[in-house]
């Protein structure tokens, strides 16, 4: 038997159909010599610190750094049943080898290998590596299975990424949280991304609007404009000087220009345009793409390439012959034939660009759910654009002189629309509203040396504008290019995160409360700004994190050892802790809005309330007043805030409603606190009674003390 393990049940079902494993069992398919099961995404994750050692349940700075001696994986409770099925299948004596059919990328490799490791599996391992879920692609993939060991470096890179995120996240988050008395979540990639949002918001908030002016002259259908003028009086004077005068065209320059078609989509570029056109988040686009991929309608989504390989040329040419049959905006248009410009094997790593599949020809695309249809049509549009001709236009530059001042204009006339015709057709069908490009048309009657009399002069007022907040589109672009200026021109640039992880990073920022969506904008919250305000530059550094992404790629390709990469990360962890040690006490109180309930009787520092006790703010001091104790429980009482304040101030507090089990009645007494070996000990004192005796005199008798705790 051959065991095949895919990432999801739907993918397993598609593979089973192709290879003949048609009998459905509990958690797997069987037939034709195959067993086909699935992982339900990540079945196993690295355990939290408190599962490594119970002491980590409480966040103590003194326990840092947390560096696992042995990295432990655990299976989520909801997925244990499927894990048991996989464990049983991997333990069968009749299984000749197992095929890793999880998604062909870093995470897919990790998902499979963790199950393989947790089950102590030793049977031979092979790898199915495909870029499409089409039946033909699956068949070809099974005919050319790779040795699983060929992907050891890919697995190492996946684990390096996971361990790095764990080490930085767990240690830095606990370090800054315990130092600042406020939950501050730090992430290897999400923190530099948040820093970009905060930096942009600072520029917006600090922007001071300034007015500037322009003077425009119009005559014979031509409008020319001055340079920006900062002084309103000067602008008015220029307009008055030129009003009704003659201007002479001193320069008219026409240049034919071309714009090449856009490249095919990689994941990030597609996410950006889906956000721009439809307002979809990066995660929505990725989820929709995954559905289309599993539905055999598009190729593998998590790609960073915008090209295809030579052997795909014929497939793409066939797609172009059929593309008008499964799109509703291309019929009647002449398709381009420039397939050769899509080919660049050197820029195709694990997967080629995102394309429609040949299966789409047979599918009912127009009746797909709206998101799927729009994303599919966007991919089809990009393919049609990429093979179309260049956009050809003529650019005209004009300069005119009037009363000693120069005015300019620029115009654009389309000669051949090329790929732009495809884009316009798509937008007419699918993009309800968009900003129209402002085009200044230069009349054909205008020529150099021409004099235009009696011009109309107008002064207009304008204002400088602040930077725009990030949208999902522009944030993805910034993440993709982060740190590029720090690197050599020849360095392979990978930015923050990877195409497969950037959507998740943005979602984490939103879900953690550090960023918020407002329409298409992504804005930092108050908590996000506060977090970035206290972190040092090396944690917020986009270039450092982008450099690590490059190193992860080097691990993936076998050019850097996993040990060296993790050592770099550990270096950062120790740098973080050294920096935290140097934070002054005054700075540590920055977010401390806690109300002090009194002064510690041992060291004199403030005492604060927590869920279970009243504790000294000095972590080196052991003083604590526990709300619940056996002594007080016997009298059905616990210490509240008012009692704690009086105990700290006076050493005693009157309690009117203690309970006596012996008498089954309530009574009043002073609860007295004294320190014994630095720990609070309690007793009761009964205040003098104020009973009226003979002659109206009071006879006060002091009661005895209760037992100490």
Residues with a known catalytic role: 300
Contact 57, 50 (CB under 8 A): yes
User: Helix H segments across 607-670?
Assistant: 630-633, 641-650
Identify whether the C-beta of residue 21 lies closer than 8 Å to the C-beta of residue 32: yes
Q: Using CA of residue 540, residue 543, residue 546, residue 550, what is the dihedral sign?
A: negative
CB-based contact 99:145 (threshold 8 Å): yes
Dist. CA 260–CA 317, nearest whole Å: 20
How many Cβ atoms from other residues are within 10 Å of residue 615's Cβ? Answer: 20
Show the DSSP H helices in 279-419 as ranges: 282-294, 313-322, 370-386
578: tokens are 């050294």
Beta carbons of 398 and 252 less than 8 angstroms apart: yes
Order of strands, sheet of 97-101, starting from the edge strand that comes earlier in the sequence:
23-24, 28-31, 34-38, 2-6, 97-101, 125-127, 146-147
Give the Cα separation of 407 and 225 in Å (integer): 5
Instruction: Note whether 595 and 641 are within 8 A (CB).
Output: no
Q: φ, ψ for residue 484 (rounded to 5)?
A: -60, -40
Residue 263, token pair as written in the block = 């490249």
Q: Return d(Cα 61, Cα 315) in angstroms, integer.
A: 59
Both tokens assigned to 479: 């993440």
Tell me the C-alpha distance between 609 and 605, whole Å: 13
d(CA 152, CA 162): 15
User: Residue 51: in which H helix or E strand, if any?
Assistant: helix 49-52
Query: What single string gives the DSSP state of each residue in 512-567?
Result: TTSEEEETTEEEE-HHHHHHHHHS-HHHH-HHHHHHHHHHHHHHHTTSS-HHHHHH
């Amino acid at each position: 038997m051959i065991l095949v393990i895919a990432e999801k049940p739907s993918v397993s079902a598609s593979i089973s159909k192709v290879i003949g494993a048609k009998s459905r069992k509990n958690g797997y398919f069987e037939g034709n010599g195959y067993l086909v099961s699935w992982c339900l995404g990540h079945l196993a994750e690295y355990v939290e610190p408190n599962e490594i050692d119970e002491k980590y349940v409480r966040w103590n700075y003194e326990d840092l750094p947390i560096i696992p001696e042995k990295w432990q994986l655990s299976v989520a409770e909801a997925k244990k049943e499927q894990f048991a099925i996989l464990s049983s299948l991997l333990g069968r004596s009749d299984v000749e080898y197992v095929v890793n059919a999880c998604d062909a990328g870093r995470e897919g490799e990790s998902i499979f290998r963790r199950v393989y490791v947790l089950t102590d599996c030793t049977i031979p391992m092979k790898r199915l590596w495909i870029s499409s879920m089409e039946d033909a692609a699956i068949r070809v993939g099974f005919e050319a299975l790779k040795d699983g060991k060929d992907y050891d470096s890919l697995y190492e890179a996946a684990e390096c990424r996971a361990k790095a995120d764990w080490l930085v996240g767990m240690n830095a988050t606990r370090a800054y949280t315990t130092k600042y008395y406020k939950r501050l979540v730090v992430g290897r990639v999400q923190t530099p991304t948040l820093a970009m949002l905060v930096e942009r918001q600072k520029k917006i908030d600090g922007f001071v609007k300034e007015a500037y002016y322009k003077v425009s002259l119009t005559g014979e259908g031509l409008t020319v404009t001055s340079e920006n003028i900062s002084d309103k009086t000067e602008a008015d004077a220029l307009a008055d000087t030129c009003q009704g005068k003659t201007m002479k065209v001193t320069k008219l320059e026409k240049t034919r220009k071309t714009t090449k078609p856009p490249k095919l989509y990689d994941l990030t570029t597609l996410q950006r345009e889906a956000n721009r056109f439809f307002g979809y988040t990066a995660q929505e686009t990725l989820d929709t793409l995954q559905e289309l991929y599993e539905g055999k309608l598009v190729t593998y989504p998590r790609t960073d390439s915008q090209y295809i390989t030579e052997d795909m040329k014929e497939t793409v040419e066939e797609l172009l012959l059929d593309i008008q049959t499964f799109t509703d905006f291309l019929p009647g248009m002449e398709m381009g034939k420039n397939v050769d410009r899509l080919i660049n094997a050197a820029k195709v790593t694990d997967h080629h660009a995102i394309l429609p599949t040949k299966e789409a020809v047979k599918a009912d695309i127009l009746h797909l759910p709206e998101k799927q249809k729009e994303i599919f049509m966007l991919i089809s549009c990009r393919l049609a654009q990429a093979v179309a001709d260049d956009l050809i236009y003529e650019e005209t530059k004009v300069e005119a002189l009037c009363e000693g001042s120069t005015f300019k204009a620029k115009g654009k006339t389309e000669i051949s629309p090329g790929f732009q015709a495809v884009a316009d057709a798509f937008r007419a069908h699918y993009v309800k509203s968009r900003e129209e490009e402002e085009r200044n048309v230069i009349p054909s009657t205008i020529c150099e040396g021409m004099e235009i009399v009696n011009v109309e002069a107008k002064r207009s007022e304008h204002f400088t504008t602040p930077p725009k907040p990030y949208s999902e589109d522009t944030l993805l672009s910034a993440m993709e290019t982060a740190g590029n200026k720090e690197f050599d021109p020849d360095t392979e640039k990978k930015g923050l995160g990877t195409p497969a992880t950037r959507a998740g990073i943005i979602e984490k920022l939103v879900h953690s409360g550090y960023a918020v969506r407002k329409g298409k904008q992504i804005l930092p919250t108050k908590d996000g700004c506060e977090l970035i305000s206290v972190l040092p530059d090396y944690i917020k550094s986009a270039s450092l994190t982008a450099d690590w992404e490059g190193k992860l790629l080097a691990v993936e390709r076998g050019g850097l050892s996993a040990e060296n990469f993790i050592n770099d990360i550990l270096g950062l962890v120790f740098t973080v802790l050294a920096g935290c040690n140097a934070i002054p006490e005054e700075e540590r109180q920055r977010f401390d809005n806690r109300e002090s309930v009194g002064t510690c009787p041992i060291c004199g520092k403030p005492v604060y309330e927590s869920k279970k006790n009243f504790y000294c703010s000095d972590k080196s001091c052991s003083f604590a007043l526990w709300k619940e104790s056996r002594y007080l429980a016997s009298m059905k009482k616990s210490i509240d805030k008012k009692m704690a304040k009086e105990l700290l101030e006076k050493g005693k507090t009157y309690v009117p409603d203690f309970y006596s089990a012996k008498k089954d009645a309530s009574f009043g007494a002073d609860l007295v606190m004294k320190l014994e070996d630095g720990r609070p000990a309690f007793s009761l004192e009964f205040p003098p009674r104020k009973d009226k005796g003979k002659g109206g005199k009071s006879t006060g008798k002091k009661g005895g003390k209760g037992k100490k705790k």
